[in-house]
């Protein structure tokens, strides 16, 4: 047997096999990615329907697993220390089934119900010259004092208020590169300082089950376009932002439920974003 010839044929075979596998990998990688042609097509379609796409949209839509969540479990003592700063608030209300409990000290009130925490202090924590940079700094300092139950929260949005003057800073937890919008902290600030805090948190347990295909971003935008035309009618409309996050599935119990991939679509004609189940391309 000519071993040199055999080795040459084997090398050629392996090179062909590697090239074939490389093509398969490339095709699989691009199967779940929008190209420039698809982006232009959906942008043109939206513009023909008087909808301007101003923000960047996701281009990758690889299969995703649900995210398993634990139940709500707060350390009441740590929350009282945080919000009342060493004072001894009076427990003013507790429901018979322990689903709602409220504490009060002076004008400050803390309520915990069904996993939601709401704190109100109309006098504020300390006067401030209101501005976005100062508000960010004040809220960042507050978050540093949050109990261990609230890790890795990222500023996601700032809503400016006109009556009274102030703003709401919205934070969501970032878990392994994805925002978890079920876990949020909303801090309302005014010239008096921090006047209100609303938040909820349950611990992510990890991704679970089988990775399932999600709809492409252009398919989701097409659904949003149809919804806009149905409910908002004619006129110039702008979509300012679209992203892919983990959120609560519509109709599921709030506690210990798996979260699913969700598209959020923000616009200039609606206050809250459209939420779309990325598995089924259905709007909440």
Question: 249 or 119, which is more confident?
Answer: 119
For residue 161, what pLDDT is reported?
87
Report residue 95's pLDDT band, with 50, 70 and 90 as the boundaries: low
Say if residues 191 and 138 touch (Cβ distance below 8 Å): no
pLDDT tens-digit profile of 45-76? Answer: 999 988 999 888 999 999 999 999 998 878 88
Residues 33, 234: Cα–Cα separation, whole Å:
31
Q: Per residue in 204-216, pLDDT tens?
A: 999 999 999 999 9
- The closest of 185, 186, 188 to 166, measured between CA atoms, is 188
Query: CB count, 10 Å around CB of 5?
Result: 9
Top pLDDT among 4 and 47 is at 47
Beta strands 100-105 and 90-94, pairing class: antiparallel
Contact (CB, 8 A) for 108 and 196:
no
Residues 6+ apart with CB under 8 A from 153: 143, 171, 172, 173, 174, 183, 185
% of the chain exceeding 90 in pLDDT: 53
Q: Which CATH architecture has domain 72-201?
A: 2-Layer Sandwich (3.30)
Look at residue 252 in the predicted model and tell me its pLDDT.
56
pLDDT of res. 199: 94
pLDDT bucket at 229, cuts 50 / 70 / 90: confident
Task: Give the pLDDT confidence score for residue 236 in this predicted structure.
Answer: 83
Q: Is the pTM of this model over 0.75?
A: yes
Mean pLDDT of 228-246: 85
CATH 1.25.40 fits 32-67+208-283, yes or no: no
Q: Where are the domains of the chain?
A: 32-67+208-283, 72-201
Question: What is the per-residue pLDDT for 19?
Answer: 58
How does DSSP classify residue 33? B
């Amino acid at each position: 047997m000519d071993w040199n010839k055999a080795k040459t044929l084997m090398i050629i075979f392996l090179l062909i096999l590697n090239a074939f596998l490389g093509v398969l990998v490339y095709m699989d990688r691009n199967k779940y990615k929008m190209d420039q042609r698809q982006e232009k097509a959906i942008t043109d379609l939206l513009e023909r329907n008087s909808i301007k796409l101003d923000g960047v949209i996701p281009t990758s839509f690889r299969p995703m697993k649900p995210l398993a969540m634990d139940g709500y479990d707060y350390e009441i003592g740590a929350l009282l220390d945080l919000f009342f700063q060493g004072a001894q608030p009076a427990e003013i209300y507790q429901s018979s089934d322990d689903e709602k409990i409220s504490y009060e000290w002076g004008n400050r009130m803390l309520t915990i119900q069904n996993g939601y925490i709401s704190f109100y202090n109309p006098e504020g924590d300390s006067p401030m010259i209101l501005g976005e940079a100062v508000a960010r700094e004040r809220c960042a300092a507050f978050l540093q004092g949050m109990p261990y139950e609230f890790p890795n929260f990222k500023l996601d949005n700032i809503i400016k208020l006109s009556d009274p003057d102030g703003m709401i800073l919205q934070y969501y937890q970032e878990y392994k590169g994805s925002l978890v919008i079920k876990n949020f902290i909303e801090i309302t600030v005014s010239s008096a300082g921090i006047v209100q805090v609303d938040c909820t948190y349950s611990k992510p347990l990890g991704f679970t089950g089988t990775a399932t295909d999600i709809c492409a971003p252009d398919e989701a935008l097409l659904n949003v376009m149809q919804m806009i035309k149905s409910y908002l009618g004619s006129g110039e409309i702008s979509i300012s932002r679209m992203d892919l996050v983990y959120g609560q599935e519509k109709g599921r119990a709030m506690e210990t439920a798996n979260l699913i991939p969700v598209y959020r679509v923000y616009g200039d004609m609606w206050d809250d974003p459209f939420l779309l189940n990325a598995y089924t391309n259905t709007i909440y």
